[in-house]
Structure 1
């Protein structure tokens, strides 16, 4: 079984505000490092993004990939890889927990697999950097807006 890499952060906003920011894919290039564009290809019955195409450029890695999203109210969003050139899989979850002081704990779980073999320890380290960078970017974006 492949391991999930997990990290959490507390954001000074309600779960609804945080989830709204997560769903605002057009804004990703402003806060998600390396994301050049994120285009919603389809939406679910509630109007939330269901499939999103990303263009990523973090030298030396460039890729275009599509993710499928499933939303669980204001509690979580999960995604799975639909297609990619460099990735074999990219599965993740943002889980949101409202805290008593009006803030939200956001836990990010990620599991990725590349088309090229990578030592497990290096892959997990890369996942950890990716998660922590994304969480800090999300926190900054939500708290400024």
Structure 2
């Protein structure tokens, strides 16, 4: 996989509240633009998703992929592609949460590989758009 793209935002909510929203994968279509459907296929011992299928509309691309999740309490979650889609051939992402003086800094990292040849700069710009949209949606959802 190529270099990751990342961005951060400060949310006026505690880490457990933010991670509860992040862990509610099936709720993503309500606040994350471009996410059409999330279906949890398997949960881990903590009740959080271990595997899920994601269907998204990402501008010129729409796809359905399978993801595997690793949760580190309310501090971090990572996910990796385990079922390729028609377009997406590689995917790794994470949310990391850190206390920020009465608020929480949320950092989202993402790397996506697609079947279509794409210049690295264009791919990173697309990743940045996905990340920024997700972070803004998460902040709006939690601070409303």
Task: Please classify the TM superposition score into its range, dividing by the shorter chain length.
Answer: over 0.9
Equivalent in the alignment of 2:137: 137
* Length, aligned pairs only: 143
| TM-score between both structures, scaled by the size of structure 1 | 0.94
Distance 1:130 1:57 in 2: 11
Equivalent in the alignment of 1:89: 90
Q: What are structure 1's unaligned runs of at least 5 residues?
A: none
Equivalent in the alignment of 2:50: 50
1:11 aligns with 2:24: no
| TM-score between both structures, scaled by the size of structure 2 | 0.95
Distance 1:55 1:126 in 2: 17
Equivalent in the alignment of 1:71: 71
Distance 1:100 1:58 in 2: 34
Distance 1:79 1:130 in 2: 15
**Pairwise CA distance, 1:45:** 1.1
Q: Please give the root-mean-square deviation of Cα atoms over the aligned residues, in Å.
A: 1.2
Q: What are structure 2's unaligned runs of at least 5 residues?
A: none
Distance 1:53 1:18, change over 3 A: same
Deviations 1:5-37 (A, max 9, x none): 010000010000000000111211111111111
